[in-house]
């Protein structure tokens, strides 16, 4: 184990690995988290005046308001959002207004925060830009 | 090295002793064991190859989970984040937490606040800190980042609390909200 022998000198390797390990341990992502970007301004999400789709999130249902009409989408069993019912509303809206990809979300204060996030997730998955009206 | 016999003219033959008198007891075995022990001490070497292997695996594992996006956030143990499928990479922004009717704010640039009661009228401490943080970020030349903030809350928290905070953020010019969520496959 001497320098110049048959085996390589491992001491520099160990030094390097020690420094690398310490550095990477400090920068280690112990819990992976994601983010969901939302505009906290209903007017900025809606690009221009014209027809708009507004979703009112209530604790037990979602009310979709568009073109002067309202449609209720009751929550499914266990209080989960009815993704199918919402998908139908979005498909109908897209058929009528293929150039509008924006939705205004007006959540009720009694609804849980998680329900709003899951609703935005469904809208993002359907390729809609969401603006949340905090008032 | 046995002794050899020297013969004189008249004297009886002299028996020259050998190198060592024959031991009464078997010291050869003891001596051999001592020699072996001494030799093993001389040839002792720490085998470093397994250690290098271990370090290499460790470094690869850590590299795979390495992040430069500043996810080292304080997250209360009892806070359950909503799980969603369409999350994006979390970026390093000031962190606003809504926990148990209180709001906390922390940032790398400025001293934050720790638990202002959301029932406080107009939330003056939060507003003041947000203004200070915005000015600090603008001063660094990060234009778009000055309007973005990370927000975390428990999934069962009432939306009244979150909406109140959102109103304050909007009025103070923070319109890009990054809600922190958990990926669906997180433990």
Residue A18 has pLDDT above 60, yes or no: yes
Q: Please say if the pLDDT value at position A66 is more than 70.
A: yes
Answer yes or no: is pLDDT of A58 > 60: yes
- The owner of tokens 């085996």 is A7
Whole-angstrom CA distances from B102 to A27, A117, A134, B17, B114 are 29, 20, 18, 100, 9
A12 pLDDT above the threshold of 60: yes
Task: Output phi, psi for B66, to 5 deg.
Answer: -75, 140
Q: Say if the Cβ atoms of B157 and A113 lie within 8 Å.
A: yes
- Find residues 158-187 of chain B whose CB sits inside 8 Å of chain A: 158-164, 166-167, 169-170, 174-183, 186
Compare all CA atoms of chain A with the CA of B182 and give the residue at the minimum distance. A33
How confident is the model over A9-27, as a mean pLDDT? 84
Token duo for residue B163: 């909406």
> Cβ separation of A113 and B90 shorter than 8 Å?
no
Q: How far is CA A123 from CA A37, A129, A130, in A?
A: 12, 7, 7
Q: Is the pLDDT at A17 greater than 60, yes or no?
A: yes
- Token couple for B45: 């070497």
Residue A27 pLDDT exceeds 80:
no
Q: Is the ipTM of this complex over 0.85?
A: no
Q: How far apart, in whole angstroms, are the C-alpha atoms of residue A109 and residue A135?
A: 9
Question: For the segment A45-54, what is each residue's pLDDT rounded down to a tens digit?
Answer: 455 567 888 9
Say if residue A123's pLDDT is above 60. yes
**Mind listing the pLDDT tens digit for each residue in A84-93?**
899 999 999 8
Q: Read off the pLDDT of each residue in A99-117 and give the average, rounded to a whole number.
A: 89
Kindly determine whether residue A17 and residue B62, on different chains, have CB atoms separated by under 8 Å: no
Which pLDDT score is estimated for B138? Answer: 82
> Nearest CB to B169: which of A25, A40, A110?
A40
pLDDT of the residue at A1: 46
pLDDT (tens, 9 = 90+) of chain B, 187 residues, equals 455 666 656 778 887 776 666 666 667 778 888 888 888 777 667 777 888 888 888 888 888 777 665 555 666 777 788 888 888 888 888 889 898 888 888 876 677 788 888 888 888 999 999 888 888 888 877 766 667 899 999 988 889 999 999 999 988 888 888 998 888 876 6
Residues in B touching A21 (Cβ below 8 Å): 55, 58-59, 62
pLDDT at A57: 92
Distance of alpha carbon A47 from alpha carbon A25, whole angstroms? 45
Q: What confidence score (pLDDT) does residue A100 get?
A: 85
Which of left, alpha, beta for B104 (phi over 0: left; psi -120 to 50: alpha)? beta
Say yes or no for a CB contact (<8 Å) between B51 and A124.
no
Q: What is the mean pLDDT of residues A9-26?
A: 85
């Amino acid at each position: 184990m001497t320098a110049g022998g048959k085996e390589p000198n491992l001491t520099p390797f160990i030094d390097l690995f020690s420094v690398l390990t310490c550095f990477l341990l400090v920068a280690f992502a112990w819990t992976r988290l994601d983010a969901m970007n939302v505009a906290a301004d209903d007017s900025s999400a809606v690009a221009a005046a014209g027809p708009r789709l507004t979703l009112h999130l209530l604790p037990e249902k979602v009310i979709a308001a568009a073109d002067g009409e309202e449609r209720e989408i009751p929550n499914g069993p266990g209080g989960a959002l009815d993704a199918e019912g919402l998908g139908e509303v979005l498909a109908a809206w897209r058929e009528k207004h293929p150039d509008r990809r924006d939705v205004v979300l007006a959540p009720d204060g009694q609804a849980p925060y998680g329900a709003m996030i899951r609703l935005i997730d469904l809208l993002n998955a359907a390729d809609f830009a969401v603006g949340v009206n905090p008032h | 090295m046995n002794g050899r016999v020297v013969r004189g003219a008249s004297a009886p033959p002299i028996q020259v002793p050998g190198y060592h008198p024959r031991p009464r007891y078997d010291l050869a075995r003891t001596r051999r064991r001592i020699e072996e022990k001494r030799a093993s001490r001389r040839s002792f070497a720490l085998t470093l190859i397994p250690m290098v292997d271990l370090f290499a695996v460790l470094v690869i594992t850590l590299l795979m989970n390495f992040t430069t996006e500043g996810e080292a956030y304080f997250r209360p143990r009892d806070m359950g984040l909503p799980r969603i499928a369409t999350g994006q990479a979390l970026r390093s922004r000031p962190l606003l937490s809504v926990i148990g009717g209180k709001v906390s704010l922390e940032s790398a640039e400025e001293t934050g606040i720790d638990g202002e009661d959301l029932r406080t009228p107009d939330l003056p401490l939060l507003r003041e800190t947000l203004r200070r943080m915005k000015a600090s970020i603008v001063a660094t030349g990060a234009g778009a980042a000055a309007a973005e903030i990370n927000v975390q809350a428990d999934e069962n928290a009432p939306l009244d609390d979150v909406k109140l905070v959102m109103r304050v953020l909007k009025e103070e010019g923070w319109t890009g909200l990054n809600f922190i969520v958990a990926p669906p496959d997180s433990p």
